[in-house]
Structure 1
Amino acid sequence: MTTGSPSHPPLATAAASAPRRSILLSAYAVSPERGSEPGLGWQVATRLARYHDVTVLCSPEVEGDDYRGEISAYAREHGAVAGLTFHYVEPPWLSRWLQRPGGSPLRPLYYVGYAAWQRAAYREACRLHARVGFDLAHQFNLSGYREPGYLWRLGLPFVWGPIGGASNIPWSCFAGFPPRERLFYGARNLVNRLHMHAGPTSRRCRRAAAVARSHGLIWGISADDCRMVNTCWRCPAEAMLETGAAVQPAARVRTYDGRRPLRLVWSGVHIGRKALPVLLEALARLEADPANPAVELVVLGEGPQTPRWQALARRLGVAECVTWAGRLPRDQAMAYVAEADLFVHTSLLEGTPHAVIEALSLGVPVLCHDACGMGAAVDARCGGKVALRDADTSVQGFARWVGRLARDPAELQQLSRGALARADELSWDRKVEQIVAGYATLLGSTTKCEART
């Protein structure tokens, strides 16, 4: 079935020199109404169809969510988009059993169910390829490296990614975690190493990477992901963030003058790996020196650690400068971010947090750890980064950056301009231009291809 026209404006420039080709895109989760992986699938697939004839292999529903119904509703409202076809692969019984909604005790076997869907998708891909004759296969989402799918077996130029999941939380950062998270992320660190280097997952990833090495391409989200591809699978990898920035009507250059308190905003689920205590302790160090400028912090979100973190703020003596806004509708949360001078992201483990991209698109500089996708998204033009080594290094680094920017309005304003420029570089349209350019390199194209509008 063909789907509705995307609601974004046409691209300003053609992405690459390439004739229209027939592309097979494996995107397990796709929806026009959602963020995260389903939103990623939708944003990229609809834009790719401007350049190529794209067939998307996807699941009609994931964990009870009716993605096929959401795509159909969008198509009825907006009409069809030329060159885009969704081919739905029904989840086999193993997928339905192991990928139940909610807190199923089978949740640790999620990827087993996902692999079963990938096998079914490959069988459909073989039938479609015999009829259509695709020029290139792209294993797209989910973005975790543990599941390369099977499209690399088709004998076509093969693209995989962007993939993530290689980063681990340093063991020295576990001290502030509640016991359950300490156990979970400790086990994840160990299993992650096993998946990279040994076992069935590693062997299949190596085979997929071998195909990409001979006539293909792998994109990695972060430096850790690219390093894993290089060292574990002996394959080159190019960097690409998995998410993109959208145009924000409220975007503007910050106008902090140094005479009022510096406004910080933090957003996330209140769990251990989000590491808000790093920022609270950093504020306590700033408060200890009366020479430092005043700072205000708005904390968005809630979770099991909320009472503990509020108690910590009181114990550290910073409770008066912290506003706990709670979990809010997206537009209200974005309003807080739009009024901030600096978005602070203390998380220890992420892909590419969409909250970081949204802050940049509003012109809000970002302060984060130099790790995972946020470390790749933020550069010296649009924010500050702190080495992820241990808790004390993090606290010192965040305190130093906040104090520095509170004392230097001119630098903060320059970073705000850089945030808007960086958001443009990370836009969905630019991302698809990069993907199309990668396709063109693999397919050896020389003819100009104009984007369909």
Structure 2
Amino acid sequence: MTRVLAVAEAANPEWVSVPLVGWSLASALREVADVHIVTQTRNRDAFLRAGMREGTDFTAIDSEAIARPMWKLAEKLRLDSGKGWTTLQAVNALSYPYFERLIWKRFGDDIRRGAYDIVHRITPLSPTSPSPLAAKCARAGVPFVLGPLNGGVPWPKAFDAERRAEKEWLSYVRGAYKLLPGRRATLTNASAILAGSRHTASEVPEDLQDRVIWLPENGIDPARFSRTAAPQPGKLRAAFVGRLVPYKGPDMLLEAAAPLLRDDRMTLDIIGDGPMMPALRDQAQRLGIDAALTFHGWQAHEQVQDILARCHLLSFPSIREFGGGVVLEAMALGVVPLIVDYAGPGELVDATIGLKVPCGTRDQIVAGFARELARLADAPEQLAPMAAAARTRVQNDFLWSAKARQVARVYDWVLSGRTSPRPDLFRP
């Protein structure tokens, strides 16, 4: 069995977003390879609670001497707002190499003597974080796999106000990361580069494209998404799940759905919270749609699944999603996604499993959603074949166990010296 040192600085089964991705993929890989996970010490207790054995299954690296003050700096720069994602990633990119320095100090001798067949950096997901380990592994003759990488999807030009509302000042000069020391060396010394989005893949230099493989970073735990949607017959039932912020478009959704909600042809569940909540409540009252609309606020995972399972449709007009994990979660339940055709969701959804509205201006997106919702409200049952196809797609390609098998194919390709055809992970 392939021996893998899996580097996952962010990996935690009790958190969400990137840490959950890091944990889920690293632990799933243990089904297909002999994996030892290296993570940051902040995740140690969660690993132990999950049944992992320290020293045998994982090693926790204490990089807090640099990580903690840099995190505090990032929060100050973000004004403790929870916004400014690009700023956070920029600061993390400065502090991350120290973590890998400590990894080499602990595992360098083992890597040099061939204790591992592959070193795989799973997180950070951001392509702006260079990996000094890549060159060191190359010198030791051990293949280095990088990714999945994702991030930096450009803001649609029509939504610059939303960009400023998210305090994404650094996004205007994000492309400068390509000039950072270590970026070219990281990519050159990687035997395979897993790209979580087509955009991220396009940012890899042309002469290195032969090692790039598309692998969306999100996956599904079937134990967490075990229901099958069974909406009641009759009116169209839709849901929105996410943070209530401008770029996710909940206000656009209310405007698009208003005629159907007023006429009792549709119900809408809004799951999530955020700074837009008061304005959205005011908007709902002004549009006269309160009776058919429910604001649930933040809900535990089990409750989110229960609410979604009563719906035909995930109505999600977000204009900037890197991965689109909520889209996969809805599909896993048999809830058809209606999304903006841009970035992560646009790559995950095709005409057999969901519906896409072109990414244009705000008015164009509202009109597109209004048109699709009106068509579906006339016969919600028409979504049943798509719902079944969406569940099948997730079962075949997006369970974490399936993703582990996909990555195992990459390992085989790398260990063969890349003499065989590059694996297409989404083709039988």
Residue 8 of structure 2 contacts residue 37 of structure 2 at CA under 8 Å; is this kept in 1?
yes
Whole-angstrom distance in 2 between the partners of 1:32 and 1:377: 24
- Structure 2 SS opposite 1:389: coil
- Correspondence 1:165 to 2:151: yes
- Quick check: 1:32 aligned with 2:3? no
Distance 1:342 1:355, change over 3 A: same
Corresponding residue number in structure 1 for 2:160: 174
Question: Quick check: 1:363–1:420 contact (8 Å CA) kept in 2?
Answer: yes
* 1:210 has 2:188 as partner: yes
State the match for 1:71 in structure 2: 47
Which residue matches 2:424?
none
- Equivalences for residues 268-287 of structure 1 within 5 A: 268-284=242-258
Go from structure 1 to structure 2 and tell me whether the alpha carbon gap of 1:31 and 1:179 turns closer, same or farther (over 3 Å shift). Answer: closer
Q: Whole-Å Cα distance in 1 between the matches of residues 104 and 256 of structure 2?
A: 50
In structure 2, what is the equivalent of residue 319 of structure 1?
290
1:94 partner amino acid: I
Q: CA distance change for structure 1 residues 432 and 179 in 2, over 3 Å: closer, same or farther?
A: closer
* Structure 2 residue 95 is matched with structure 1 residue 117: no
Q: Name the SS for the 2:295 alignment partner.
A: strand
* Matched ranges for 1:256-335 at <5 A: 257=233, 260-284=234-258, 294-335=265-306
Native 8 Å contact 1:229 1:235 kept in 2? no
Counterpart of 2:159 in structure 1: which amino acid?
A: C
Q: Read off the aligned partner of 1:270 and give its amino acid letter.
A: L
Superposition RMSD on alpha carbons, in Å?
Answer: 2.8
C-alpha distance 415-357 of structure 1, shift in aligned 2 (>3 A): same
Query: What's the CA shift for 1:410?
Result: 4.1
In the other structure, the counterpart of 2:401 is 429
Q: How far 1:338 moved relative to its partner?
A: 1.0
Q: Which residue of 2 aligns with 1:137?
A: 119
Distance (Å, rounded) in 1 between the aligned partners of 2:335 and 2:126: 29
Q: Distance in 2 between matches of 1:151 and 1:418?
A: 41
Deviation at 1:428, TM superposition (A): 0.6
1:440 to 397, 412, 418: 412
Deviation at 1:234, TM superposition (A): 5.1
1:252 alignment partner, SS class? coil
Which stretch of structure 1 is more off in the superposition, 435-444 or 274-283?
Answer: 274-283
Partner of 1:417: 388
Distance of aligned partners of 1:287 and 1:330 in 2 relative to their CA distance in 1, 3 Å threshold: closer
SS at match of 1:264: strand
Q: TM-score scaled to structure 2, two decimals?
A: 0.85
Distance apart, 1:235 and its partner CA: 5.4
Q: 1:328 & 1:44 partners in 2: Cα distance?
A: 25
Q: Please point out which of 54, 58, 63 is paired with 1:86.
A: 58
Question: 1:265 is matched by which residue type in structure 2?
Answer: A
Q: CA deviation at 1:375?
A: 2.0
Deviation at 1:283, TM superposition (A): 1.4
CA–CA distance in structure 1, aligned partners of residues 370 and 412 of structure 2: 46
TM superposition shift of 1:229:
2.1
In the comparison of the two structures, how many residue pairs are matched? Answer: 402
Establish whether residue 58 from structure 1 lines up as the match of residue 39 from structure 2: yes
Match of 1:99, SS state, is: helix
> 1:254·1:416 contact (CA, 8 Å) conserved in 2?
no
In structure 1, how many angstroms separate the alpha carbons of the residues matched to 2:44 and 2:336? 38
Partner of 2:31: helix, strand, or coil? coil
Between the aligned partners of 2:57 and 2:281, the Cα distance in structure 1 is: 50
The aligned residue for residue 340 of structure 2 is 369
Instruction: State the 1:103 CA deviation.
Output: 3.9
- 1:96 and 1:178 mapped to 2: Cα distance? 28
Q: Distance in 2 between matches of 1:315 and 1:178?
A: 26
Give the partner amino acid of 2:248. K
Question: Who is 1:252 aligned against?
Answer: 228
Query: Are positions 1:348 and 2:322 aligned together?
Result: no
Structure 1 residue 102 displacement after superposition: 9.4
Q: Percent identity?
A: 25
CA contact (8 A) 2:229 2:312 kept: no
**Cα distance, 1:340 vs structure 2:** 0.9
- Segments of structure 1 that go 5 or more residues without pairing to the other structure are 1-19, 62-66, 447-453
Give the deviation of 1:104 after TM superposition.
3.7
Per-residue deviation at 1:285?
Answer: 5.8
Compared with structure 1, are the counterparts of its residues 179 and 255 closer, same or farther at alpha carbon in structure 2 (3 Å cutoff)?
A: closer
* Alpha-carbon offset, residue 236 of structure 1: 4.6
Q: Secondary structure at the match of 1:369?
A: strand
The residue identity in structure 2 corresponding to 1:439 is: Y
1:205, CA displacement in angstroms? 2.3
Measure, in 1, the Cα distance between the counterparts of 2:176 and 2:74. 27
Q: 1:45 to 1:179 in 2, by over 3 A?
A: closer
Residues 1:204 and 1:400: Cα distance change in structure 2 (over 3 Å): farther
- Secondary structure of the residue aligned to 2:204 is helix
Distance 1:52 1:223 in 2: 27
| DSSP-derived class of the 1:57 partner | strand
Change (3 A) 1:390 1:97: same
Distance 2:239 2:311 in 1: 6
Q: Pick closer, same or farther for the CA change 1:287–1:301 going to 2, 3 Å.
A: closer
Matched, 1:392 2:363: yes
What residue number does 2:204 align with? 229
Task: State how far apart, in whole Å, the 2-side matches of 1:375 and 1:390 are.
Answer: 16
The structure with higher relative contact order (CA 8 Å, sep 6+) is 1
Q: What amino acid does structure 2 have at the position aligned with 1:435?
A: V
Per-residue deviation, 1:167: 0.4
